[in-house]
C-alpha cells in the first residue's frame, strides 16, 4: 500500500508538471499563430522566414552548450537532418496556410496530428491503443471535418482568400508535425535533449536559409522593414525557441498524449483572439467543432490515464507477489501464519 501511494504521488506530480507545461506550450502556440497572421496581414509572403530565426536561436544556444560539454553524439547526424527537413516543411505549410484560411481553422485542424501520431507510434514505436482511445480519435476527426464544412459554409467570412485550400494545406502540415513529434519523442528518450535541440536548430537553419535564398529572397528584399514588421519576427523566434525547448521536456516526462491534449486550449485562445482582436464573426459550426474535438480529446486522455493506473496496479501486484514469495511455507505449500512461526521458534528455543 505504501508503494502504491508513493507511485500515485509521483504520478500526480508528473501530471501537474505536464499540465503546466502543456498550458505554457498552448499559449506559445497561440502567440506564434497571432504573430504569423500579423506578418501575412502586412502582405509578406515568405513562410519559411517565420521559423528561420527560431532554428538559428536553437542552434546557437544548445550548440554552445554541446560544445562546452564536449559530449559525444548519441544518434546519427542524418537522423537529425531528416527530422529538421520534415519540421521545416511542416512549419512552411502551416505558415503558408495563413494566406488562405483563418487562424481559428488552423488551430483546430492541428488536431489532425493526433490520429497521425497514434498510427505512427503504433507502427514504429509499438505503442498499443485500446478501443476507447481509438473512439476518442474518431470523434476528433469528426471535429476536424466540421471545421472544413464550416469554412465552406462561412465563405468569405472565414478570414481567408481560399479557406478550403488553406484547410488542406494545414492537414498536410499537421501530418508532417505528427512525423516530427513522433521522431522527437523517440530521439529525446533514446538520445539527449540538448543534442536534439542543437542539431534540429542547426539543420533547420541551414535548410531554411537555402529555401529562403531560392524562393523568398525577392519577397524579403521588397519588404519595407520597420519596427512593426520586425517585432512579429522577433516574437516568432523567441516563441519557437521556448516552444521547442519545453516540448522536448514534455515529450520526455509526459509523452505525446499530454501535448496533444494541451492543443485544445490553443483552439480556445485562437477563437478569443479572432473574436476580440480581429473583430471577425466566428461561424456557429466552429463552436460545434470545438465541442466535438473537446469530447474526443477528453476520451483520449482518460483512456491514457486508465492505462497508467493499470500499470501502477500491476506494479503493486508484482510487489505483493514478491512479498508472498519471501514468506515461509509449510510442507503442503501453504504460508505459515505468524503464530505458527512464533510457536516454532519458541519450540526450537526450548529444545
Residue 163 has what pLDDT? 85
Query: Of 106, 117, 115, 111, which is closest to residue 170 (Cα–Cα)?
Result: 106
Residue 203 has what pLDDT? 98
CA distance 344 to 339: 9
| Angle between helical axes of 113-124 and 131-154 (0-180°, round to 10) | 150
Q: What percent of the chain has a predicted confidence (pLDDT) above 90?
A: 31
Q: Return the SS3 of 335.
A: strand
CA distance 74 to 63: 15
Q: Which residues pair with 329 in a beta bridge?
A: 335
Mean pLDDT of the chain: 77
Percentage helix, strand, coil for the chain under 3-state DSSP, each rounded to 5 = 85, 0, 15
pLDDT surpasses 90 at 233: yes
Q: Residues 306, 66: contact at Cβ < 8 Å?
A: no
**Greatest mean pLDDT range, 92-96, 128-132, 136-140:** 92-96
The contacts of residue 233 (CB under 8 Å, 6+ apart) are 35, 39, 49, 50, 53
Q: Look at 78-82, 248-252, 335-339 and tell me which has the smallest mean pLDDT.
A: 335-339
Q: Residues 118, 137: contact at Cβ < 8 Å?
A: yes
Using alpha carbons only, what angle is made at residue 119 by residues 118 and 125, rounded to the nearest 5 degrees? 80
Specify the pTM: 0.74
pLDDT in tens, 284-330: 777 787 788 778 767 766 644 444 444 444 444 544 545 555 555 44
Q: Indicate the pLDDT class of residue 46, thresholds 50, 70 and 90.
A: very high
Residue 313 has what pLDDT? 45
| 89 vs 131 pLDDT, higher one | 89
Q: What percent of the chain has a predicted confidence (pLDDT) above 70?
A: 70
5-30 mean pLDDT: 70
Greatest Cα pair distance in the chain? 103
pLDDT surpasses 50 at 159: yes
Residue 339 has what pLDDT? 47
DSSP, res 327 = S
Residue 78 has what pLDDT? 94
Residue 33 has what pLDDT? 83
Amino acid at each position: 500500500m505504501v508503494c502504491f501511494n508513493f507511485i500515485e504521488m509521483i504520478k500526480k506530480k508528473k501530471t501537474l508538471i505536464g499540465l503546466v507545461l502543456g498550458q505554457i506550450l498552448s499559449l506559445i502556440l497561440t502567440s506564434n499563430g497571432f504573430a504569423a497572421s500579423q506578418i501575412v496581414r502586412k502582405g509578406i509572403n515568405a513562410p519559411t522566414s517565420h521559423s528561420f530565426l527560431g532554428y538559428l536561436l536553437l542552434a546557437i544556444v544548445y550548440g554552445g552548450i554541446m560544445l562546452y560539454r564536449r559530449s559525444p553524439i548519441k544518434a546519427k547526424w542524418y537522423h537529425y537532418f531528416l527530422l529538421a527537413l520534415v519540421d521545416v516543411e511542416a512549419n512552411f505549410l502551416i505558415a503558408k496556410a495563413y494566406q488562405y484560411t483563418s487562424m481559428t481553422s488552423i488551430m483546430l485542424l492541428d488536431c489532425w496530428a493526433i490520429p497521425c501520431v497514434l498510427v505512427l507510434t503504433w507502427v514504429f514505436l509499438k505503442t498499443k491503443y485500446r478501443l476507447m482511445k481509438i473512439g476518442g480519435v474518431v470523434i476528433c476527426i469528426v471535429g476536424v471535418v466540421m471545421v472544413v464544412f464550416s469554412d465552406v459554409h462561412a465563405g468569405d467570412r472565414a478570414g481567408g482568400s481560399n479557406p478550403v485550400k488553406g484547410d488542406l494545406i494545414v492537414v498536410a502540415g499537421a501530418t508532417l508535425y505528427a512525423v516530427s513529434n513522433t521522431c522527437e519523442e523517440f530521439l529525446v528518450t533514446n538520445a539527449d535533449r540538448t543534442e536534439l535541440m542543437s542539431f534540429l536548430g542547426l539543420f533547420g537553419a541551414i535548410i531554411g536559409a537555402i529555401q529562403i535564398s531560392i524562393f523568398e529572397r525577392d519577397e524579403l528584399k521588397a519588404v519595407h522593414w520597420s519596427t512593426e514588421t520586425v517585432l512579429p519576427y522577433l516574437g516568432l523566434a523567441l516563441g519557437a525557441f521556448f516552444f521547442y525547448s519545453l516540448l522536448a521536456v514534455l515529450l520526455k516526462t509526459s509523452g505525446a498524449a499530454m501535448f496533444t491534449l494541451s492543443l485544445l486550449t490553443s483552439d480556445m485562445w485562437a477563437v478569443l483572439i479572432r473574436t476580440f482582436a480581429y473583430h471577425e464573426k466566428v461561424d456557429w459550426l466552429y463552436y460545434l467543432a470545438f465541442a466535438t474535438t473537446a469530447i474526443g480529446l477528453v476520451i483520449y486522455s482518460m483512456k491514457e490515464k486508465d492505462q497508467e493506473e493499470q500499470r501502477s496496479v500491476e506494479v503493486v501486484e508484482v510487489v505483493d507477489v514478491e512479498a508472498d514469495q519471501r514468506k515461509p511455507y509449510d510442507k503442503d505449500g501453504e504460508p505459515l501464519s505468524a503464530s505458527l512461526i512464533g510457536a516454532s521458534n519458541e519450540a526450537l528455543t526450548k529444545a
